[in-house]
Amino acid sequence: MRWIWIDRILELEKGKRCVAIKNVSLAEEVLHDHFPATATRPAMPVLPNTLIIEGMAQTAGIMVGHAYDFSEKVILAKVGRAAFTDAAWPGYTIRYSATMDRIDATGASTTGVVERINPADASIVPLAHIDLMFSHIDKNRAGLEFPEHNFVFTDQFMNLIRQSGF
Amino acid sequence: MAMSNEEAFKKVQVELSAALGVDEEEVTPEATLVGDLGAESIDFLDIVFRLEKAFSIKVNQGELFPESVLNNPQFVQGDKVTDGGMAELRKVLPYIDLDAFDKNRNKNEFPNFIKVSDLVAFVQSKTA
C-alpha cells in the first residue's frame, strides 16, 4: 500500500513538464492531527508541508519516469529547496507544476511551483517552490543492486496516469 | 578564452554553497567535499548538474568520479588501488590532486579526497 498524494494529472509533456492537482479534504485524517485544537486556540487543519513535498515528488517523479517510458526506478534523492509562503487549507485545490531541469542516465533534477486554487472564485495564490533531485537507482554510483521489478511505478501510479487520460 | 582561477573559484563556491547548504565562506579551495563540507553521494550528482549549468559544460560519467577505474579488478586489489590503478587515475583525472590519495589508496575513500580546488581545476580544464 502506498499513499498517493495527487488526485489527477492535468498535463504531461514528455521529459519537460507535468502538472497535477490535489483536492485537500477534511475527510483526510491527517488534517485532524495537523494541527489539533489546544487550550488556547481552535483546530487549524492544513495539509502538512511534508506531504506537499511528497505531492511534488510524485508529480515530478512521474515526469522523470515518463521521460524514459517508466523503465527506470526513480527515487527521490534530495530536496534541494522547499520554500513555503502559504498553507493548504481544506476545500481548496493544490496545483503542482513540475519542470525538468536536467535528466540523464544517472538521474534528474526538477524545479516546481505549488499554487493554491480557491474553487469559490478560481483565484490562485502561490504556495511553495520545491526543487528536487531524483536518482535512477539501478545506475547508482555505489553499484548497489535492487529488485528487478519496478517497485516505484506500481499499478496504483500507472492507474492514476491512465485515469488522467495519459 | 580560459576562465581565471579566481573567476572559476567564485562560481564553484556559489554552486557548492547552494548544493550542500553551507556558507560560501566555508567553501575554501582546500576544503574537502565530503569531510569538510559534508557532501553525501547524491550530492555529487547535484554538484555535477549545477556545474554543467553554471559553466555551460557537459560532464560525462566517470570524468569526475572514476568508477570505471575504481571498480575495475585490473586496477584494484581488494579495496586497494594498485600502482597501475594510480597511473590510470592520474591519466583520466589530470586535474585532480591525487598525492594525498596515493598514500591511502582505499578505493572506497576516494571521494573523501576531492577538494574544492580540484573542482575548480576541473571546470577550468573543461572551459579552456
User: In this structure, is residue A1 part of a structural domain?
Assistant: no
User: CA–CA separation, A140 vs A163, rounded Å?
Assistant: 32
User: Which of B22, B41, B46, B49 is the best mutation test for A, with the most CBs of A within 10 A?
Assistant: B49
**What mean pLDDT is predicted for residues B26-36?**
94
User: In this structure, is residue A108 part of a structural domain?
Assistant: yes
- The CATH number of the domain holding residue B36 is 1.10.1200.10
For residue A105, the model assigns a pLDDT of 87
Domain range spanning residue B71?
5-127
**Is B45 at the interface with chain A, CB within 8 A?**
yes
Question: For chain A, how many structural domains are there in total?
Answer: 1
**Is A109 at the interface with chain B, CB within 8 A?**
yes
> What ipTM was assigned to the predicted interfaces of this complex?
0.73
User: In this structure, is residue A102 part of a structural domain?
Assistant: yes
For residue A141, the model assigns a pLDDT of 60
For A137-152, how does the pLDDT look when each residue is reduced to its tens digit (9 = 90+)? 887 666 667 777 888 8
For residue B68, the model assigns a pLDDT of 80
Nearest to A103 by CA among A66, A138, A130, A128: A66
Q: Which residues pair with A22 in a beta bridge?
A: A94
Residues 132-161 of A with CB under 8 A from B: 133, 135, 140-143
- The whole-angstrom distance between B42's CA and the closest CA on chain A is 7
**Is A11 at the interface with chain B, CB within 8 A?**
no
pLDDT in tens, chain A (166 residues): 468 999 999 999 999 999 999 999 999 999 999 999 999 999 999 999 999 999 999 999 999 999 999 999 999 999 999 999 999 999 999 999 999 999 988 899 999 999 999 999 999 999 999 999 999 988 766 666 777 788 888 888 899 999 999 9
User: In this structure, is residue A2 part of a structural domain?
Assistant: no
Are B46 and A135 in contact (CB < 8 Å)?
no
Are B49 and A143 in contact (CB < 8 Å)?
no
Domain range spanning residue A135?
8-163
For A113-130, how does the pLDDT look when each residue is reduced to its tens digit (9 = 90+)? 999 999 999 999 999 999
Nearest to A133 by CA among A156, A106, A114: A106
Are A133 and B52 in contact (CB < 8 Å)?
no
User: In this structure, is residue A147 part of a structural domain?
Assistant: yes
User: In this structure, is residue A48 part of a structural domain?
Assistant: yes
User: In this structure, is residue A148 part of a structural domain?
Assistant: yes
Return the number of CB contacts < 8 Å for A and B. Answer: 34
**Is A111 at the interface with chain B, CB within 8 A?**
no
Question: For chain B, how many structural domains are there in total?
Answer: 1
- The CATH number of the domain holding residue A112 is 3.10.129.10
Neighbours of A139 (CB within 10 A): 14
- The whole-angstrom distance between A106's CA and the closest CA on chain B is 8
Sheet of strand A107-118: strand arrangement: A8-13, A17-23, A93-103, A107-118, A123-136, A74-84
Are B43 and A80 in contact (CB < 8 Å)?
no
